[in-house]
Amino acid sequence: MIHVKDHKTLDLFKPFPFLGPKRRHLIEGSWAKLFRDHILHQLPVEKIFNNYSAFKGRPTKELYAMLGLMLLQQVHDLTDEEAICQFAFNIKWHYALGITNESDEDTYLSAKTLWTMRSLLIEQGLYGVLFQSVTDPLAKLFSLDPSLQRIDSVHLFSNMRHLGRIGLFVHTIRKFLVNLKRHHRELFDGLGQAFTDRYVTKQGQGVFSLVKPSESIRTLEVLGKDLFSLTEQFKSHPEVAKMSSFGLLVRLLGEQCHVEPQAEGEGPRVSIKANKEVASDSLQNPSDPDAGYDGHKGKGYQLQLAETYGRDEENKGLSLITVGQVESADQSDAHALIPLIEEAQRRGLGPEEVLADSLYGGDDNVEQARDRGVEVISPAMGKPGELSLADFSLKEDSTVEVCPEKKVPVKTRAKKGKYTATFDLDTCACCPRLSQCPVKRGKKGYSLRYNDKAVRLAERRAFEKTVAFREAYRYRAGIEGTISELDRKTGVKHLRVRGLGAVSFCAILKAAGLNLLRAAAFKNRKEKEKRMGIPNNAGLFGPFFVFKEQRLALWALLQRIRNSFGTNTPYWGESYA
């Protein structure tokens, strides 16, 4: 039965009457009050109503508090046991989650209830809605300006063991055999004890852990034959073929092995693919089949982030993560820019200008973003030190005027977005920079051929050399600090879960939690500046105002000391004013 409280209605009596003024000041100055007043009642509990009955069964735990618990567990990077203890005993959590009754019914939570709620949110993909229910109210409350944003990705390691190729074969086969033994014991026994013990028992697996490097290829060939034998033997068995562990066998065989047909009377020949032939989206570990491989950072996932920033150093506003998306580590950053922009625009937080590194700033992405009203500032791809079209001087019609050595082409041509500039054969042959130049030798001279895309890239490379580009692009480095802060405060880079759904759940809620912590710190800073009389545009001169406040306080203290000695005492405190 559904159990929810109305958190929009104000309390008739002040909650937590046992809190004194000092402790109440502490708790109301933390993230807890911001969460209680502006986020708790926004949590999407109606999205999970269809999983419970409105009239039958035992009442659920208060659903707003449960969704809040899901968020706070990730913000503080807690295990399930730690989260249950905080839910039971932490007054700050009770204040934030609207728990005013200290009875076991309201504050006690079993581990199974926590697991069930988390599984429910992961299966229905509600972590994105939870992120929005935190970020969007904060953006509205603090009048967030989303016009300037920057994006980057961070690599995530799920809770899986990093296996070599031999370990991958052994663990995948073992996973299948264990499931086969559990559900089809007679088929398992039919494989023979010698075969099954090699993969199921610890003594048998120890043989594979002692393989010398010189014997690894031979061992892989044996494993490949066993893998092929299992898939051939059970592919026609309808119940076994439906098992997820059998699907991993088939996937591993296709990704890691070549199966070549032989002459009649001979079975197919199984050979192991070379390392370079194995795709980056291949199976990395049977316990986490969704994980991919990045040649630079390794196995796992990556979190794509977009955050707001400001260029006004004197009156810096709040910076929030507007969009977060998790994907396999083998995915290129080039595919993430447009989905991030579209998601931000859908929620009314679309940027006008985006800072990104060169992987995001391909010409196709820049043009698609421009069609959506967004300017992308990013370095263009290219090898440093080599000449490109950007080093040539172009006319208004995009034809070449002179080359980098100030030589005029003997002929230019422009037709349907394609351009050609031809230079004198003898002139180019004597050029000291010919080896770096993009021109190609022909019968009548050296020719430079390019199109509209190359012209756009040349204009971007020319812009990169200007002061305006350096001044604008220097703010992109700030997102590296955001990624570092996200990891230090929430532990986002090393997660306790496996699978794309669970990893997305944890990473997205951690990003939402960072927004909450940032908003609370920003609110406290603004309130402190207001109390101390620091103008909003004080900027670097803020400490001067703080010093002046302290000076005036000291002056008032000296006046009180003078008055305590009588009015005839010389005014020796005047020099401190």
- Give the three-state DSSP class for 285: coil
pLDDT value at residue 376? 94
Over residues 556-569, the pLDDT tens digits come to 777 777 777 665 55
389 in Cβ contact with 438 (< 8 Å): yes
Take residue 79 and report the two structure tokens written for it: 């295990």
**In this structure, what DSSP letter does residue 304 have?**
E
* Dihedral (CA of 4, 10, 12, 17) sign: positive
**Distance (Å) of CA 29 to CA 76, 92, 207, 241:** 18, 11, 60, 58
Interior CA angle at 229 toward 222 and 240, to 5°?
A: 135
pLDDT value at residue 541? 52
Q: Which residues 6+ apart lie within 8 Å of 187 measured at CB?
A: 180, 234, 237, 240
Residue 6: count other Cβ atoms within 10 Å of its Cβ.
8
pLDDT value at residue 206? 64
Closest alpha carbon to 459 in 359, 370, 392 = 392
Q: In which element (H, E) is residue 271 found?
A: strand 269-272
Q: Which residue type sits at 470?
A: R
- The list of the chain residues with pLDDT below 70 reads 12-13, 203-207, 263-265, 313-315, 383-386, 533-552, 565-577
Over residues 524-565, the pLDDT tens digits come to 988 888 877 666 555 555 555 555 556 667 777 777 777 776
Q: Which residue type sits at 422?
A: T
pLDDT value at residue 574? 46
Separation of alpha carbons 504 and 327, rounded Å: 8
pLDDT value at residue 570? 53
pLDDT value at residue 549? 59
Interior CA angle at 382 toward 381 and 387, to 5°?
A: 140
Separation of alpha carbons 104 and 92, rounded Å: 17
pLDDT value at residue 573? 45
pLDDT value at residue 150? 96
pTM, full prediction = 0.85
pLDDT value at residue 435? 85
pLDDT value at residue 87? 95
Q: Which residues 6+ apart lie within 8 Å of 308 measured at CB?
A: 144, 145, 146, 148, 149, 318, 319, 320, 322, 351
Q: What interhelical angle do 80-89 and 63-75 show, nearest 10?
A: 120
